[in-house]
Chains A and B, each alone.
Chain A
Amino acid sequence: MTSDPTDSSSLRERFLDPTVVMRMGGLLVRARSVVEGAIAGMHRSPHKGSSVEFAEYKEYAPGDEIKHIDWKAFGKSDRYYVKQFEDETNLRAYMVLDGSGSMNFASEGCPTKLEYAQTLAASFAFLMLRQGDAVGALAFDDQPGLMLPPSSKSTHLTDILHVLESLPGDGRTDIAAALQALAERLRRRGMLVIISDMLDDAERVMTIARVMRKRRQEVAIFHIIDPAELDLPYEGLTIFEGLEGEEDLLVDPDDIRDRYREEMRAHLNQIETECREGDIEYFRTVTTRPLELALMDFIVGRLQVR
């Protein structure tokens, strides 16, 4: 009997690397600035004294406020549980996931960018949910796809994994359209985590990203790159086929390698510069890089902010 690939556990196995989860277990994703949430010590909330409604228990983890330990539950189960309330987590993160054709590329010995992005997103969602923050997801290619509103329910991870699983790895990339669609829905401040190979009109993407930032959304971009995209390591006459319906190109990579690298470097520099100028967090990672390091960059970056 084979397991259903859409089954929750199999999805977890697929997208969540236990090693990564283990290593990230003690870490918390913090908001860089004041968010609406008021979980003690975690996110300072501007809405003090607002109604709180019990939502669920969360097993105690170092860093949790001791005062929130439910001693009754401890008496019943002999385990420490921390009560979580509906409005306790105000950090609402949206993961904007690129599922275009260009993501479905892997050079030899590497995972596809899509696989890397999926695992990254899953790990991120897992971390967020574990610390009680709400995570939503938006898949997109040339147009916005599945959208999952943020939720901090522990079962929400399965939904997110389903969204990840549904990423097509096909079609053109249109990050701006996805962000635009998202912008229409966002009413509260939160965090946008864009996971993409950014093979799009960088200027257009950055414009809308800056708009989002101005609407007091924290924006972080995970730029996933395959090593081959950096170095164009191919030899011999090659017919290059685009993954998003571009025209073919017959060329000896050796002839254009330098020029290509210049173009690529300019592209990366442009994104990086615009992110810096637009107060947008930017994390570039190649698919050969261990995932936890990529996540660590993100988390460490946020720790420094505090």
Chain B
Amino acid sequence: MNFLNPLFLIGLLAAALPIVIHLINRRRAVRRKFPAIEFLLRSQKRLARRLKVRQLVLLALRVAALLLIPLAMARPYLISDSGTTEADRMPTAIVFVVDDSASMGYNGRAVWDRAVSAVDDIISELRPWDRVALVYASDWPSGAPLGEDTPIPELTDAHNDVSTALSKAIPSERGTDLARALRTGAEILAASDQPRRKLILVSDLQKSGLDPTDLPVDGLGIPVEVVDVRDAPAQANLAIVGANYEQQSAGARPEFSISATVANHSDQDASGVEVHLVIDGEDVASGLVDVPAGKTAAQLFNHTFDRKGLHRAELRLARGADALEADNVYFLPIHLAQRVRVLMVNGDPRSVHYQDELYYMERALYPGKGSTSSIIPEITGIDGLASYTFADYDVVLLANVEKLPRASVRELVDFVKAGGGLLFIAGDNVNPEVYNNLFGELLPKPIRSIKLLARQDDPDAPLKITRMGQMDTTHPVFKVFDLPGGETIQAVSVYSYLLLEPTPSGESRILLSYTDGAPALLERELGEGRSALLTTTVDRDWSDLPIKTAFLPLRRRLVRYLARRSTSAEASERVVAAKVALDAAALGRGRIEVRDPEGGRIVPAPESTAPDAPLTFIPRTTGHYRVMRVPDAPDAEPSEIVEMAFAVNVAAPEANLAPYPADELSALLSGGDPDNPSAGNATVAIDTPEKRIGVWSSLLFLVTLILLAETILGTRRSVLIKLWNRVRGRSNPELDV
């Protein structure tokens, strides 16, 4: 016990006074003669024990009162993490800011249960005049309905409402936004007229859940009590924080690479983390990945799809991989493009078919009517190019094109940047200067000149020509050439090719070289797309490539590779509680509905009154969502707009359970300097705060009770009886004579 005014403890000596008075009183007794002393003696004998006890009790009460008064004046207090201070006893307005984000489901909801019971404990200690409100701290657009997690946004003295609301609530799959919730809580409290107000933040205090810039610079201005309900100081968590896919090849059975990004939010390496790939509900593959502590690692799957269209994929960690299940799965819709459309611009059209620049190319890509090839080529000359829109195609092929209008070049740049594929094919019409000038932004490397090794009719040609040499067999295009028979590409004779300017490595990648070392095929990434340059021709002018067996697979693989790919890159990552906007223009006419993963109907609302305003809604749960067109006819079945299907996942930051350092949090909430947590205008108590519990008021109350007891016990019974009789309106009885 500690004292604020220990000097008053001198007063404890006063406790000796009753004892002294007691002793003096014995001496001051009045002597009185009395005849019926026998009766007195008999009465006293019968009451002796009781009287002695009463006198001792009286003496003890008086001593206790005189001990307690100076003790109370010395203002003792206890340092405790429980109990109520004087301030606690004031009528208080409390806003519970309860974190119901996905991370609160940690350890089979043990963390959430702890949060609920912490709130219940606090509520059980409230007084009837205290008022409470409840705000949830999950990342949820304000104003939107919360579903089962019903907040109590106005202060109420019905404390049980908070308990009841919490008992019905469950940890959501949403992210955390502590700042918004704290601001909301502070606003509720600002409107309260209770003399004491405080926010009680019940959370696992994820650092990722509190954006300091969202808090007022000068703090909330209201005391914040933080109840940390974490399972352990460092909660380990494995999560799939992202997944993407990339179409490796087009065709009837397109091959896709699907990767899952596994994050290890702990301070220990995780080895052999089992990741499963589930396609359309079927567990098709699994793999083990090692994830270093605090890092991410990718697990790559290659999967060949048997059919086109939409596939709903899930990347999952093995069941029970860690304590937080919500982020162990990542939903990924995979859209398989139906076909590859190729626009081939012919720079040297001929009336004789086999002399035409693109004769072999066209045949390679589209053998003819009845073909089941997924590659649909269209050929145009430079003059007719104006009637085509590059964006409608997946690949644009410029074969021996002399030049293009500037507008077309700009369109071409946009096309590539947006994900299109561009293939330059060399030829006589290629003027290096014009090309460098016109297509400089698109070319993998600037062209220096045309190198003529030998004419085809040159008898020494076999000696002068070059052949295809080294190829990058790790590249998707040349992967198959590493197989038996693949070496046939090296039999190609090349008479002329484009010499390229040397450029710093990294901008472009050489996929195929001539035996003299000059690049034959090279590519560069530009925006979302790729451009490639074949430094020789695809007809027989500069090489005999078209008549080699390697031509067909090379062309098709190259076109597929360059084609606007089905990737997840362009698909926006959607997370729970983040608004989803559906492009109304793409949806066309008809009523649109969204089906959530459980099949529940959601009717998205237009964002504004504009005709093309996107339809929006807020997803509540993770999983695959479907967009349905509902026909006006009453009996007609809704049809899915497959290309609009999307998935919703847990926000990646939610997986990182690293807490906000207590001192920084304290400074942040109080508006102080994080380096000096004591600064600030509001008190912040982390977890169970240490309190100075003043006990003097209790002591004084005790003194009052003691004095009351002493008064009753010490007052002459005759007086009490008289008083009692007076209260009852009776006269005092006397012994009848």
> Which chain A residues have a beta carbon within 8 Å of chain B's beta carbons?
101-103, 105, 113, 197, 199, 225-226, 228-232, 234-244, 246-247, 249-252, 254-265, 267, 284-286, 289
* A254-B717, A256-B47 known; A239 vs B37 contact (CB < 8 Å): no
Given A247-B41, A249-B41, A259-B47, A240-B34 contact (CB < 8 Å):
yes
Q: Does B33 contact A (CB under 8 A)?
A: yes
Assuming the contacts A243-B33, A250-B29, A256-B47, asked whether A263 and B734 have C-beta atoms less than 8 A apart, the reply is no
CA distance A258 to B39 in the complex (A): 11
B232, CB-defined interface residue at 8 Å: no
- Pairwise interchain contact B46-A259, C-beta atoms closer than 8 A: yes
- Give chain B residues whose Cβ lies under 8 Å from the Cβ of A261: 735
Closest 7 CB pairs of A and B: A102-B35, A259-B43, A242-B37, A237-B29, A254-B716, A263-B39, A230-B735
Q: Which residues of B contact A103 (CB under 8 A)?
A: 35
Query: Are B718 and A263 in contact, with the CB atoms below 8 A?
Result: no
Residues from chain A with a CB closer than 8 A to the CB of B30 are 234, 236-239
22 A-B pairs whose Cβ atoms sit less than 8 Å apart in the complex: A101-B35, A102-B35, A103-B35, A225-B737, A228-B34, A229-B35, A234-B32, A235-B718, A236-B30, A237-B25, A239-B31, A240-B32, A240-B34, A241-B37, A243-B33, A250-B29, A251-B44, A254-B716, A254-B717, A262-B43, A264-B39, A265-B735
A225 to B736, CA, bound (A): 12
Contact A250 B26 (CB under 8 A): yes
Q: Within the complex, what minimum Cβ distance (angstroms) separates A103 from chain B?
A: 8
11 A-B pairs besides A237-B30, A247-B41 with CB distance below 8 A are A102-B36, A231-B734, A241-B31, A241-B32, A241-B37, A242-B35, A242-B37, A255-B717, A259-B46, A260-B40, A264-B39
Q: Which of B31, B717, B737 contacts A230 (CB 8 A)?
A: B737
B718 touches A242 (CB 8 A): no
Q: From residue 692 to 737 of chain B, which have CB atoms closer than 8 A to chain A?
A: 716-718, 734-735, 737
Residue of B nearest to A266 (CB): B39
- Tell me how many residue pairs across A and B have CB atoms closer than 8 Å: 114
Residues of A within 8 Å of B43, CB to CB, are: 256, 259-260, 262-263
Residues in B with CB closer than 8 Å to A242 are 33-35, 37-38
Q: How far is the CB of B20 from chain A (nearest CB, A)?
A: 15
Q: Cβ of A246 and Cβ of B717 under 8 Å apart?
A: no
The B contact surface, by secondary structure, is helix
B1-42 vs A, CB cutoff 8 Å, 1 = contact: the mask equals: 000000000000000000000000110111111111111111
Closest B-chain residue to A101, C-beta based? B35
**B451 at interface, CB cutoff 8 A:** no
Residue of A105, A113, A258, A265 near B34 (CB, 8 A) is: A105
List B contacts of A101 (CB < 8 A): 35
Chain B residue contacts of A225, Cβ below 8 A: 737
Q: Shortest beta-carbon distance, B190 to chain A, in Å? A: 62
B127 at the interface (CB under 8 A from A): no
| Chain A interface SS verdict (over half) | mixed
Find out whether the CB atom of A197 lies under 8 angstroms from the CB atom of B35: yes
Residue of B nearest to A102 (CB): B35
Most central of B40, B44, B716, B717 by chain A CB within 10 Å = B40
Give A101 to B37 CA distance when docked, in angstroms: 12
Determine the distance from Cα of A265 to Cα of B737 in the docked complex, in whole angstroms. 10
Given A197-B35, A226-B35, A246-B38, check contact A285 B737 (CB 8 Å).
yes
CB-nearest residue of chain A to B734: A231
How far in angstroms is the closest Cβ of chain A from B322?
Answer: 77
User: Which residue of chain B lies nearest to A200 when distances are taken between CB atoms in the complex?
Assistant: B38
Name the A residues within 8 Å of B734 (CB-CB). 230-231
User: Is B288's CB within 8 Å of the partner chain A?
Assistant: no
Q: Give the docked Cα–Cα distance between A231 and B733 (Å).
A: 10
B642 within 8 A of A: no
Residues of A within 8 A of B44 (CB): 249, 251, 256, 259
B51 closest partner in A (C-beta): A255
A254 / chain B contacts, CB cutoff of 8 Å: 716-718
Please measure, in the bound complex, the distance between the C-alpha atom of A289 and the C-alpha atom of B31, giving whole angstroms.
27
User: What are the residues of chain B within 8 A of A241 when measuring CB–CB?
Assistant: 31-34, 37
CB-CB < 8 A to A260: which residues of B? 36, 39-40, 43
| CB closest chain-B residue, reference A241 | B33
Q: Which residues of A contact B33 (CB under 8 A)?
A: 105, 240-243
* B54 part of interface (Cβ distance < 8 Å): yes
Chain A nearest CB from B734 CB (Å) reads 6
Task: Please report the C-alpha to C-alpha distance between residue A105 and residue B37 in the assembled complex, in whole angstroms.
Answer: 12
* Bound Cα distance from A242 to B25, whole angstroms: 21
Chain A, residue nearest B42 (CB): A263
Bound-state CA distance A276–B30 (Å) is 40
In the bound assembly, the distance between CA atoms of A241 and B717 in angstroms comes to 23
CB distance from A256 to the nearest CB of B (A): 4
Q: How far is the CA of A229 from the CA of B30 in the complex (A)?
A: 17
**Contact in complex: B36, A249 (CB < 8 Å):** no
Which residues in A have their C-beta under 8 angstroms from that of B32? 234, 238-241
Q: How far is the CB of A58 from chain B (nearest CB, A)?
A: 36
Within 8 Å CB of A257, what residues of B?
A: 717-718
Residues in B whose Cβ lies below 8 Å from that of A229:
34-36
A197 contact set on B, CB distance < 8 A: 35
Instruction: Give A94 to B37 CA distance when docked, in angstroms.
Output: 29
Chain A residues near B735 (CB-CB < 8 A):
230-231, 261, 264-265
Q: Once the chains are docked, how many angstroms separate the CA of A251 from the CA of B48?
A: 10
For the complex, give the distance between the alpha carbons of A251 and B35 in Å. Answer: 15
For B735, the closest partner residue in chain A by CB is: A230
| B733 CB to nearest A CB, Å | 10
CB-defined contacts of B737 to chain A, threshold 8 Å = 225, 230, 284-286, 289
The residue on A at minimum CB distance from B715 is A254
What chain A residues lie within 8 Å of B39 (beta carbons)?
260, 263-264, 267
Contacts of A244 in B (CB 8 A): 35
